[in-house]
Structure 1
Amino acid sequence: MADAKARNAVVTGASKGIGLAVATALRDEGFHVVAGARTISAELKEITPLAVPVDLGTPDGPGYLVDTAIAELGGIDLLVNNVAGTTGPHPRGFLSVTDDDWQHTLGLTLLSAVRASRAALPSIRERRGHIINIGSVNSRRPAPHLVDYSAAKAALANLGKALAEEFGPHGVRVNTISPGPVRTAVWTEPGGTGDLLAKKAGIAREEFLHALPANFGMSTGHMTEPAEIAALVVFLVSGSAPNINGSDLVIDGGLRNEV
C-alpha cells in the first residue's frame, strides 16, 4: 500500500468526536489515514481500513501506532495528536484529585503526544510534514473541576511551540488547535462536564446545553461542531498558509474571557 507520492496521516483518539471528524475530513482530502483508538467504532471502520486498536495511554502504544503506519504506508506526512483523557470532572476540586488521576490524565493527554511525536518526527521531518495537537481553551482558562486536564492541555500547547521552534528549520510545521466547548460526548452524555455543570445549575442537561452559548458569552450563539475542528486541520495542511507555525489557534465561538 506504500506510495511515495501519497499523503499519509496518523490520527490518535479517532473513534468518535473530534478525532473521528478529523479522520473523515482527511480521508475526504485524499489522505491515507491510520487511526488509533482503544476501541474501534463502526464509524471509524467505514472511514479507513487502517483503524488500529491500541491503548495510547501506555508507554508503547503511541510508538506501536506510528510504527504500524510507517510499515503500511512507508512514511508519515501528518500526525494529529487528538487523544486526551481525564478521570474528571472533579466537582470537589483540586484536593480531590489523586496522584492516579494526575498520572492518567498526563499520560493520555500529554505523554501520548510526546511519544507519538517522538516516533513520527523522523519520517515527518524527511517528508517536511506537520504535527497538529488538539488542545483546549482550558489551557488558558483553567477550570477547577478539570484542573488536571487544564494543566495537561497547557503543557501540550507548550510542547507544540517547542517542537515548532526546533523542527521548523527542517520544514516541519507544528501547531495547536484549542477549541472551546465542542458538541461531543463530554457535553452530551451522562457523567460528563455537561452533566456536572447542569446539576450545579439545577437544570436538566438538555436545557443547560441549549443555554450554554449565551451563558458562556459565545458571541456566535452556538457550540463548536467537531467538523469545524476538522476543517481547520485540513486548512493547516493544505499549504494555503505555510507560514503558520508554532501557533495556538483558538476556535471557541468568542467565549467570554471572564467566564
Structure 2
Amino acid sequence: MSRKTALVTGAARGIGLATAHLMLKRGWQVAMLDRDAEELTLAAQDLDGAKPFVCDVSDPGQVEVALSAILESFGQLDAVVNNAGVAMFGPMEETDFEAWRTVMATNLDGVFLVSQAAIPSLKQTRGALVNIASISGLRASTLRVAYGTSKAAVIHITKQQAAELGEFGVRANCVCPGPVRTKLAMAVHSQDIIEAYHDAIPLNRYGSEQEIAEVIEFLCSDRASYVTGQIIASDGGFESTGIGLPSLRT
C-alpha cells in the first residue's frame, strides 16, 4: 500500500514543523506548505518523504496552484492540517481594519480556502481535516479581538465541515492549543505573563510543540476513525479554569 499523504500548512516552524516531523516518523508522506520560502526550504531540507510548497493560504490562486502541485507530486491526499496562522495583539479600539483583515485572511480565510480545495481529494481517500484554533477561540481575553474571533470562527467552521462531510467519510476536528513555548509565543509573552500562565494552568507549565503534534497526528490517523466534529483543548487544563489573567489585561 502507498504511504498516506498529509498536507501541513504553516510548516516552516513551530507546531506545523513539529507535526511534519512526527508524521514523517509515523510513516506519513508530508507536503509542507508555508509562505516563507527561505525558512520552508531549510525546514524541509533532508527530510525523507517531505516536499516543500510555497504558498500564501490567504490567496485563492496560490492555494489552487499549490494543491494541484501537491496532488501531482504525491497522487493523493489523506489528511490536511490547517495550522498556518498569524497573531496581532492590541486593544480593540486600537485595532485598525487592516490589522483585522490581516489576521482574518490567514487564520480564517486560509482554513476555508485550503479545506475547500482539498475536499475532493479527501472524499476519495475518506480522509481527515484537522484545524488548529486556540484556547483564545474558546475563552475571551483582552488584546485578542481579531485573533480570538478568528480562532472562534475556525472552531465553528470545523463543526460545519464535520456536519457536511461526514456522509463522505471525511472527518473534521479542531485542536485548541493553550500556551505553547513557540518562538511566536515567546516573542509576545513577557516574563510577567509567563509566570501568570504557570500559576493558572493546572499542569503548571507551558506545553511543547511535540505535545500538540501528538494530538494532531492522532486525529489524522485511523486510530481516530470514529472521532469527528470535536474541539480538543490541548492546554494543560487552562481552559477548564475559566478565568482570565490580570496580566493579560494590560
**TM-score, scaled relative to structure 1:** 0.87
Call closer, same or farther: CA 1:27–1:138 in 2, change over 3 Å: same
- The letter for the 2-side match of 1:76 is L
Would the aligned equivalents of 1:11 and 1:33 in 2 still touch at CA under 8 Å?
yes
Q: Which residue of 2 aligns with 1:230?
A: 213
- In the TM superposition, residue 208 of structure 1 has moved relative to its aligned partner by 4.6
- In the TM superposition, residue 70 of structure 1 has moved relative to its aligned partner by 0.6
Q: Which residue of 2 aligns with 1:152?
A: 150
2:116 to 115, 118, 123: 118
* In structure 2, distance between residues paired with 1:229 and 1:116: 21
- In the TM superposition, residue 15 of structure 1 has moved relative to its aligned partner by 0.5
Is 2:242 aligned against 1:257? yes
Q: Which residue of 1 aligns with 2:136?
A: 138
Q: Which residues of 2 match residues 72-83 of structure 1 at below 5 A?
A: 72-83=73-84
Q: Which residues of 2 match residues 1-259 of structure 1 at below 5 A?
A: 5-40=2-37, 41=39, 42-47=42-47, 49-86=50-87, 88-90=88-90, 93-189=91-187, 192=188, 194=189, 198=190, 205=191, 208-209=193-194, 211-215=195-199, 217-255=200-238, 256-259=241-244
- Tell me which moved more, 234-243 or 15-24: 234-243
Q: Which residue of 1 aligns with 2:247?
A: none
- In the TM superposition, residue 55 of structure 1 has moved relative to its aligned partner by 1.9
Corresponding residue SS for 2:143: helix
Would the aligned equivalents of 1:174 and 1:245 in 2 still touch at CA under 8 Å?
yes
* In structure 1, distance between residues paired with 2:186 and 2:198: 17
- In the TM superposition, residue 13 of structure 1 has moved relative to its aligned partner by 0.5
* In structure 1, distance between residues paired with 2:105 and 2:159: 19
Aligned-pair identity in percent equals 27
Corresponding residue SS for 1:60: helix
- In the TM superposition, residue 49 of structure 1 has moved relative to its aligned partner by 4.5
Query: Which whole-Å deviations, capped at 9, do the CAs of 1:87-126 have from their partners, x for residues lacking one?
Result: x221xx1111111111111110011111101110000011
- In the TM superposition, residue 144 of structure 1 has moved relative to its aligned partner by 2.3
- The letter for the 1-side match of 2:55 is V
- The letter for the 2-side match of 1:181 is P
Q: Which residue of 1 aligns with 2:248?
A: none
**TM-score, scaled relative to structure 2:** 0.90
**How many residues align structurally?**
238
- In the TM superposition, residue 56 of structure 1 has moved relative to its aligned partner by 2.0
Aligned Cα root-mean-square deviation (Å): 1.6
